[in-house]
Amino acid sequence: YMYKKDFPKLEIGDRVEINGELSESGGEARVKVKEKKDITKIDHVNIPQSKLVEVSEVGEMMEGWLIQVNGEITELKGSYMYIDDGTEEVKVYFKRGTGIKKDILQEGDIVSVTGLVHQTKSGYQLLPRSQKDIVKTGVAETFVTKVEEEKKDSAADLAEKYLTATAGGLTAIFVGLFGKSHGDKVGGVFRRVVESVRRKKM
């Protein structure tokens, strides 16, 4: 950690030596440095490989690890999403500067996410480093089923409304035609009912 954020130019895979003060923030260990000369590049090795784990395994022992989890996106917000692999769910946070575009994702997508395990006051979360760390591999069957059911329900509601409106229209037409063809009889009955009500009031 450096307050000025004036870090030397580094790449993923660089091996470095850091001179600083060991501290803690939000329950997570960190090394505080004052200036970029406190960070020295030693050499460059192969890009580190992530470890495939189940979400239920994410915890204190994996803090700072580069891991990979596979699961369904159960919630998607502006700066984070939740992934559920059937054992548990984990929050995946999109940090500024990573260039991650959530527009290509949606709830119900099955994804493979690689990131660093980060501890916060509310628990552990995963920090992907770039868009490449989030790979869509499919769509959850439950999500597809839900969407199809919603479409069927919507179609059924529309059909019911149409039939109700049609039935109401036909009823009105029938009454109109009946009244027209039997106007005298209907009118006479109506007048007798009105006169009867008036007599009762008197």
For 108-144, give the DSSP string: TEEEEEEEEEEEETTEEEEE--SGGGEEEEEE-HHHH
Residues 155 and 127 occupy one common structural domain: no
Number of domains in the chain: 3
Residues 9 and 27 occupy one common structural domain: yes
Residues 91 and 36 occupy one common structural domain: no
**Residue 90 burial (CB < 10 Å; 0-12/13-18/19+)?**
buried
Residues 164 and 120 occupy one common structural domain: no
Residues 130 and 158 occupy one common structural domain: no
Residues 91 and 64 occupy one common structural domain: yes
Interatomic CA distance for residues 67 and 114, integer angstroms: 6
Degrees to nearest 5, angle at CA 88 with 84 and 90: 65
Residues 124 and 74 occupy one common structural domain: yes
What is the DSSP annotation of 14-52?
A: EEEEE--EEEEETTEEEEE-SSGGGEEEEEE-PPPPPEE
Residue range(s) defining the domain that contains residue 124:
51-139
Residues 125 and 174 occupy one common structural domain: no
- Note down pLDDT in tens along the chain; length 202 residues: 888 888 999 888 899 999 999 988 777 788 999 999 999 999 988 888 999 999 999 998 999 999 999 999 999 999 999 999 999 999 999 998 899 998 899 999 999 999 999 998 889 999 999 999 999 999 988 655 555 666 677 766 776 666 666 555 555 555 455 555 555 554 555 455 446 545 555 5
How confident is the model at residue 143, as a pLDDT?
56
